[in-house]
Structure 1
C-alpha cells in the first residue's frame, strides 16, 4: 500500500535506537525526508545515511532544544509535514520499573514530566506554525498502555504519558479544522534498550524474580503483564502504526489512540 509519504518532511525525536530508529527507517523506506533527533547518533542510525536523512544532536531536557530542531528541519527541507514525538521513557540516569511509589523523589517527578510531556509540548508549539503554513500535517506522539492501564512501579511515567494522551485529544479538537491531525500510539512492552540494556528493566525484574534477563524478556515479562500474544512487541510494529497515522491515507483519523501492545490493554 502506497502511504503517499514520498517527498514529505518529517521530524522524529528519540531517533537513534528502538522505536525512534524503526520509525526513521520506515519513513525513509516510504520516501519521506527525515530529521532524526537524539542526544548522539548510533551505528544503526548511521547505517541509514542518505541525502534524505539529517541527524541533529539535541538534548530535549533542554527547554530550548525543541524549537532549535524544528527550525533545523524547516531549514533543511523547506517546511515540515510530520512530527513524531517519540523521545521518552526514563530520563537520563533513571531506571524503571521502580518497586514502589515511594521510590520516586520530588526531583524524579519533574524530570519524568520534562522528558515525556514538556519536550513534546515544546516541539508541538514550535512545529505548529509550519504545519499550518504548509496547509496541514500530522503529529503522532508515542504514549504507553500504562497511560490507560496503570501499573505499580511506574507512577510518574504513567502519569506523564496519561497527560500526553490527554493533550493529544485536546490538540486534535483545536487543529483538525485547520488540517493538522494529532494521534497517539500506545505501545505495551517493546523490546528496546529500556529492556535490553545492562541495568535496564529486564535486569531489574530478573534480580527481583531470581531469574535471568533473557527469561524475563522471552517469558516472564509477557506472563507478568498478561500479554495475549505471549511476547514483547517489536519496534517495527510500532513504526508501522506511526507511518500509517502520519500518512494522508489516515486523513480522517485524529484524536485516536492506536494501541499496539500484544493484548496488554484489556479494557473495552
Structure 2
C-alpha cells in the first residue's frame, strides 16, 4: 500500500534507537525526508545516512531544543508535514522501573514531565505554524498503555503519559478543522534498549524475580503482564502504526489512541 508520503518532511524525536529509529527508517522507506533528533547518533541511524536524512543533535531536556529541531528541519527541507514526538521513557540519568509512590523525588517528577510531556508540548508549539503554512499535517505522540493503566510502578511516568493523551485529544479538537490531525500511539512493552541494556528493566525485574535478563524478556515479563501474544512487541510494529497515522490515508483519523501492546490492556 502506498502511504503517499513521498516528499513529505517529518521530524522524529528520540530517533537514534528503538522505536524512534524504526519510525525514521520506515518514513524514509516511504519516501519522506526526516529530521532525526537525538542527543547522539548511533550505528542504526548512521546506516540511514543520505540526502533524505538530517540528524539534529539536541538534548530535549533543554527547553529551547524542540524548537531548534523544528527550525532546522524547515530550513533544511523547506517545510514541515509530520511531527512524531517519540522521545520518552527514563530521562537522561534515570533508570526505570521505579516501585512505589514514595520513591520518585520532586526532581524525578520534574525530569519525567520535562522529558515525556513538556518536550512534546514545545515541539508541537514550534511545529504548528509550519504545519498550517502547508495547509495541514499530522502530529503523532508516542504515549504508553501505562497512561490508561494506573499502577504503583513508575507513577511519575504513567502520569506524564496520561497528560500526553489528554493533550492529544485537546489538540485534535482545536486544530482538526485547520487540517492538522493529532493522534497518539500507545505501545505496551517493546523490545528496546529500555529492557535489554545492562541495568535496564529486565535486569531490575530479574533481580526481584531471581531470573536472568533473557528469561525476563522472553518469559517472566510477558507472564507478569499477561501479554496475550506471549511476547514483547518489536519496534517496527510501533513504527508501522505511526507511519499509517502520518499518511494521508488516515485522513479521517484524529484524536485517536492506537494501542500496540501485545494484548496488555484488557479494558474496553
Classify the TM-score, shorter chain: over 0.9
CA distance in 2, matches of 1:24, 1:78: 18
User: 1: CA distance between counterparts of 2:59 and 2:37?
Assistant: 9
- For residues 169-180 of structure 1, the aligned pairs below 5 Å read 169-180=169-180
Secondary structure, aligned partner of 1:75: helix
**Counterpart for residue 243 of structure 2:** 243
C-alpha distance in structure 1 between counterparts of 2:201 and 2:165, whole Å: 23
Cα offset, 1:50, TM superposition: 1.0
SS in 1 for 2:50: coil
Shift of 1:39: 0.2
Distance in structure 1 (CA, Å) of the matches to 2:192 and 2:228: 19
What is the DSSP-based 3-state SS (H/G/I as helix, E as strand, rest coil) of the residue aligned with 1:189?
Answer: coil
Deviation at 1:20, TM superposition (A): 0.1
Shift of 1:234: 0.5
Structure 2 residue runs without a partner (length 5+): none
Residue 256 of structure 2 aligns with which residue? 256
> 1:21-170 counterparts in 2 under 5 A?
21-170=21-170
Offset of residue 106 of structure 1:
1.0
1:171 is paired with a residue whose SS is helix
Deviation at 1:99, TM superposition (A): 2.1
Aligned residues: 268
| Alpha-carbon distance between aligned partners in 1 of 2:2 and 2:173, rounded to the nearest angstrom | 28
Q: Where does the alignment leave 5 or more consecutive residues of structure 1 unmatched?
A: none
CA distance in 1, matches of 2:79, 2:99: 45
1:221 matches 2:195? no
Which residue does the alignment assign to 1:201?
201
Aligned-partner Cα distance in 2 for 1:201–1:23: 22
How far apart, in 1, do the equivalents of 2:70 and 2:93 lie? 26
Partner of 1:8: 8
* CA deviation after TM superposition for structure 1 residue 152, in Å: 2.3
Please give the root-mean-square deviation of Cα atoms over the aligned residues, in Å.
0.5
More deviation, 255-264/91-100: 91-100
Question: TM-score w.r.t. structure 2 length?
Answer: 0.99
Distance in 2 (alpha carbons) for counterparts of 1:7 and 1:123: 21
Q: For 1:56, what is the secondary structure of its paired residue?
A: strand
- Cα offset for 1:102? 1.1
The runs of 4+ residues in structure 1 deviating greater than 2 Å are none
Q: For the residues of structure 1 that align with 2:111 and 2:51, how far apart are their CA atoms?
A: 35
